[in-house]
Amino acid sequence: LKQRGLLEDTLVVFCSEFGRMPTFQKGASGRDHNPDGFTVWMAGAGVKAPFSFGATDPFGHRAVERPISVHDLHAT
């Protein structure tokens, strides 16, 4: 996109519908879904780098600083 001059007009979003819990799920070999704290990566379309928005609690379980809803993310 950058080579073709399209990055300034294109928003690239990398995310998933869930983060992962900071602890292992009891009785399973992995970690459960976490809808309350996850990462979204964005580039292009005027997004200033580096930029961080919000934060989770110290345990990484829940967004506590400037949380936004999925609806607001989609409106971006």
pLDDT value of position 57: 92
Give residue 26's domain range: 7-75
Write the pLDDT tens digit of every residue in 17-37: 788 888 887 777 888 888 888
**Nearest C-alpha neighbor of 72 from the set 27, 40, 25:** 40
Provide the domain count of the chain: 1
Is position 1 within any domain?
A: no
pTM of the model: 0.69
Is the CB of residue 44 less than 8 Å from the CB of residue 1?
Answer: yes
Is position 61 within any domain?
A: yes
Q: Which amino acid type is present at position 27? A: G
pLDDT value of position 32: 84
pLDDT of 59 above 90: no
pLDDT value of position 75: 87
